[in-house]
Amino acid sequence: MMASDRRHDLDALRVFAFLLLILYHVGMFYVPWGWHVKSVHAPIEVLEMPMRLTNGWRLPLLFFISGVALRFALDKAPHGPFLRRRVWVLLVPLLFGMYVICAPQTWHELRQGGIEPGSVLTFYRGYADWPWSSPEGWPMITPTWNHLWYLLYMLVYSVVIILASWAARGALERRLSPLAGSRTLVSMIPVIHVSLLFLMQDSVGRAQTLYGDWFNLLTSFLICLFGYGVAKEAEFWDLLKRLRGVMLFAALVLSVCVAVLSISEAAWQVALAVRILQGWIVSWALLGWAQELVTGPSPLLTYLSGAIFTYYVLHQTVIIMVGVPLSGLGLPATVEAVILIIGTGAACWAG
């Protein structure tokens, strides 16, 4: 299984995770939870539960796969050139996104919040002002990275891992791989994650601000590092494939538990701990079943593997710029949502 570096199963899961993220952000236009803008049909509470059931694994799965991909890529190139290329690939889209892609999101957010941003030029002067600031009367600091926080976090993680690998001169991989691939650690990883929840609960739930977002910053890094460590451990991948049926059953059971706790009066720490466990088990199940079901490339997978990053960068701005005027047309909620999904997909495809 590990003879080829190209893991089509992970390509498929990466595409799946990003597409799910796009649909999730369409859902955020409608659910009662806070978001940048809202449809006139919001809140639509029936969407809460299916979205809630993805919260424990949607982004952790993406960070895990990113760690695996980092390992395969770094093993093919010298550390110095790879680090420069990695910084370029992540930093340029991040800065472009902050100064160009995310600006319309803030414009619409201000207007829907009752704040008149002025002309486009006046707005952008305030939005792009440096150093970071919150223009008078604005409830956010700009320029903002909004949904592009994943790029920022992966930039930090990549630099740390690449420099650690270079400094250790191969010792990092030699020591990390057998440790990360051990059955004991595989079973203990969710326990460690939950333990960090209780140790760092004061920083749980912070926005993805990097500084101050310590729980999310640390746990996402450990997930990425774990993916980096097990990337080439055949025993780990074979284990997940063998246990895919058990993991699927356990994932269903824990998903029911997440649903029940979300509508109960359980302490938020308990509900979040169960959600973390559910996230790991769902991820293990998906990684196991992907190996079984995705055995090679396809034209669609090849296209989406190359295009999905662009979809990710563009999608939230497209959702807001299409959704806000669409919401004023008086369409039924279902019709509006279908048009929004199709419009978002078409705009991302055109981009």
Q: Please indicate, yes or no, if residue 112 is contained in any of the structural domains.
A: no
Q: Please indicate, yes or no, if residue 8 is contained in any of the structural domains.
A: yes
Q: Please indicate, yes or no, if residue 192 is contained in any of the structural domains.
A: yes
Q: Are residues 220 and 338 in the same domain?
A: no
User: Under a CB-based contact definition with an 8 Å cutoff, are residues 69 and 31 in contact?
Assistant: no
pLDDT in tens, 74-119: 999 999 999 999 999 999 999 999 999 999 999 999 999 999 988 9
Q: Are residues 284 and 332 in the same domain?
A: no
Q: Please indicate, yes or no, if residue 70 is contained in any of the structural domains.
A: yes
Q: Are residues 8 and 36 in the same domain?
A: yes
Q: Please indicate, yes or no, if residue 171 is contained in any of the structural domains.
A: yes
Range of the domain at 16: 1-52+312-351
Element (H, E) at 231: none
Q: Are residues 18 and 83 in the same domain?
A: no
User: Under a CB-based contact definition with an 8 Å cutoff, are residues 308 and 18 in contact?
Assistant: yes
Kindly report which listed range (14-18, 50-54, 265-269) carries the lowest average pLDDT score: 265-269
Q: What per-residue confidence (pLDDT) applies to 173?
A: 81
Q: Are residues 79 and 177 in the same domain?
A: yes
Q: Please indicate, yes or no, if residue 213 is contained in any of the structural domains.
A: yes
Q: What per-residue confidence (pLDDT) applies to 265?
A: 82
Q: What per-residue confidence (pLDDT) applies to 3?
A: 43
Q: Are residues 267 and 334 in the same domain?
A: no
Q: What does the DSSP assignment read for 112-137? A: HTT----SHHHHHHHHT-SS-B--TT
Q: What per-residue confidence (pLDDT) applies to 182?
A: 67
Q: Are residues 208 and 274 in the same domain?
A: yes
Q: How many domains does the chain have?
A: 2
pLDDT in tens, 273-331: 999 999 999 999 999 999 999 989 999 999 999 999 999 999 999 999 999 999 999 99
Q: Please indicate, yes or no, if residue 128 is contained in any of the structural domains.
A: no
Q: Are residues 91 and 224 in the same domain?
A: yes
Q: What does the DSSP assignment read for 258-309? A: HHHHHTS---HHHHHHHHHHHHHHHHHHHHHHHHHH--S--HHHHHHHHHHH
pLDDT in tens, 152-200: 999 999 999 999 999 988 788 887 777 666 677 778 889 999 999 999 9
Q: Are residues 159 and 35 in the same domain?
A: no
Residue 16 has pLDDT above 60, yes or no: yes
pLDDT in tens, 214-251: 999 999 999 999 999 999 989 899 999 999 999 999 99
Q: Are residues 161 and 275 in the same domain?
A: yes
Q: Are residues 153 and 232 in the same domain?
A: yes
Q: Are residues 18 and 157 in the same domain?
A: no
Q: Is the peptide bond before 78 cis (omega within 30 degrees of 0)?
A: no
Q: Please indicate, yes or no, if residue 321 is contained in any of the structural domains.
A: yes
